[in-house]
Amino acid sequence: MKLDIIAQIVQILKDAPEVGAIEIRRGLFGAWSSVRVSKAGHAGTNAGDHLIVSQAAAPGSVAGGAPDAAGQAPAAPPPPKSQLLEIKSPMVGTFYQSPEPGAQAYVKVGSRVNVGQVVCIIEAMKIMNEIESEVSGVIREVAAQNAQPVEFGQALFRVDPHG
């Protein structure tokens, strides 16, 4: 591994105190096969240490229950955003929903995810970083767009832990 890359990794750790460790695995012929970033204080599968509850739903949002004009009850609204947990980007980079162009997305709205399951890839400094879920539940929203830049801390997915 080149010293300038090691220096960049050390700088990332200094600039982002919530990043506890960066693990780099090397494959054949010295090529990097994967990079794993974990947050500081990562202890087992306690998702509460890693996820932040999103903001409450906007005022004026529809609260279901009353029949509509046709006399049928409307479809149940999705859970309020305050009940959803966010899987956030641990770094700045480019968000990818699938392992390669044309492949199926790791997850989509309605997919059930488990702790440790890969949900997307973020490319940073020409390294493909697999992002794992830190919560179990059902994906209710994909908050980032495929092949678009994401910021550190930006919500990538919103997950209903009770779904």
Return the pLDDT at 16.
Answer: 74
How much is the pLDDT for 27?
Answer: 57
Amino acid 25: pLDDT: 63
Instruction: Identify the segments of the chain with pLDDT beneath 70.
Output: 1-3, 20, 22-82
Residue 87 has a pLDDT of 95
Residue 161: how many CA atoms within 13 Å on its side-chain side?
18
Please state the domain extents for the chain.
3-56+77-160
The pTM score is 0.53
Q: What number does CATH give the domain 3-56+77-160?
A: 2.40.50.100
CA separation for the pair 67, 44 (Å, rounded): 46
- List, for residues 15-52, the tens digit of each pLDDT value: 777 776 766 666 555 555 566 666 665 444 333 333 33
